[in-house]
Structure 1
């Protein structure tokens, strides 16, 4: 199985900034400067507001989506930034599944500051896909000071509260992964034993290497076990390795998502 043509065309279109800038009125991006933590790190957010009825995508958007990409060049007193994506929705795009957000999203940022940092500055660009009847990559620049005396922000707090929960908290009892060769790469079968299944759960599987293409999961349920089967392919077409402790599985269900880190051999 190979990546759909839509996904391959998206990879080609995405870097062309001139295309996205022609449509940058579709999305507004604002930095919410947030607050300094007790450990002298910082919590901020990017608030993405779209035209009504438009959608944008989660970090693993599915074959019908455009993956978001952030850069933070131009920042000062910042060593690293980790986006914390809130629980997304499963959306249908003309018979294809995508994962994302309607009308916009607030993405908290966990910011590791330089030692003894005072007032820091975050600056960079975000490229996102925005879709209604058509899908367009949009690139927006952002910058903001991150003050020492910032206060907790209600929008950031709400977005943090809507993060996927961990495996233990969600009642996940066991996760196994069987990996076998396929015609184009590898096939992975994950079995997730857990409580609280409602039926209709969607499963997304990611690897540590973002260049590896992962198909949409075929999901079945047998009692309290979800099974998810995906195909994986390296863009070079060459053989590649897969570390089970680097596999990330997200189960998206009614009003919640579960973030599972790693799996054991099945």
Structure 2
């Protein structure tokens, strides 16, 4: 497993070295970003979305990009009257990339964002940058700027509604009865064995484990099902190589199936 992890890290470094961050339209028009309005919600927040449109054959990545991929990062610091931004990720796809698995989206990604204003009586301006990776035969890092005055009078946006409908089920919605994580120290880090008692999500299920700490990196789990239990094993290492502890309440397990995806936040000792 460590060989795979080292190959993945080397692949990511190679991708990052291919190009400097590009303009708002992206290098050679490979990707473009625009901001969609969805109006106000019942609780006073604003609903919007970042829409990425990719050239045919190009892909971009989910928040946990798998063995081969560049995780997206957001900078909202230029925004005005923004107290909080909450992202809802649509369920991603799994791709085979140079023998490594990556997780993300192709053609178009509509990424819903719910914006909480600092002052509900004042207008909201969403301004910042999104750093992301796009891949076809090569991987290219991109930096896309956005600057948008949020339209408080906008109506329901079908594209945003469709993206929200594609979110993973919660553990309750997917009838997850139990999720436990057994932790075992290894020579390089920590092995997680997650056991999730839940009905099948359809087809060949794949689990993704996120450690909950940005300085930690988890390998793509080996996933198998035994009756009503899904078992996923992953190894976690620290970017610094230093010893670390894992908080089970911060571990996030996403199950990707043919019928739906499931988002499980936190696991018990197992």
* Cα deviation 1:20-53 (Å, max 9, x = unaligned): 3472511010000221112211110001000011
| Alignment map for 1:67-106 (pairs within 5 Å) | 67-106=71-110
Q: 1:63 to 1:179 in 2, by over 3 A?
A: same
Q: Is the 8 A contact 2:48 2:114 kept in 1?
A: yes
* Cα deviation 1:215-247 (Å, max 9, x = unaligned): 110111111111000001111111111111111
Give TM-score scaled by structure 2 length. Answer: 0.93
Q: Is the 8 A contact 2:12 2:68 kept in 1?
A: no
CA distance in structure 2 between the partners assigned to 1:243 and 1:15 by the alignment: 33
Alignment partner, residue 115 of structure 2: 111
Structure 1 residue corresponding to 2:226, chosen from 222, 229, 233? 222
Alignment partner, residue 256 of structure 1: 260
Secondary structure (helix, strand or coil) at the match of 2:126 reads strand
Give the paired residue count.
266
Alpha-carbon offset, residue 117 of structure 1: 3.8
CA distance in structure 2 between the partners assigned to 1:81 and 1:16 by the alignment: 31
Secondary structure (helix, strand or coil) at the match of 2:245 reads coil
Q: Is the 8 A contact 1:171 1:196 kept in 2?
A: no
CA distance in structure 1 between the partners assigned to 2:149 and 2:262 by the alignment: 33
Structure 2 residue corresponding to 1:152, chosen from 131, 135, 156? 156
Alignment partner, residue 140 of structure 1: 144
Q: 1:135 to 1:101 in 2, by over 3 A?
A: same
Secondary structure (helix, strand or coil) at the match of 1:75 reads coil
CA distance in structure 2 between the partners assigned to 1:153 and 1:16 by the alignment: 37
* Cα deviation 1:98-130 (Å, max 9, x = unaligned): 111111210000111113342210011111111
Alpha-carbon offset, residue 169 of structure 1: 0.7
State whether structure 2 residue 6 is matched by structure 1 residue 25. Answer: no
Alignment partner, residue 47 of structure 1: 51
Alpha-carbon offset, residue 213 of structure 1: 0.8
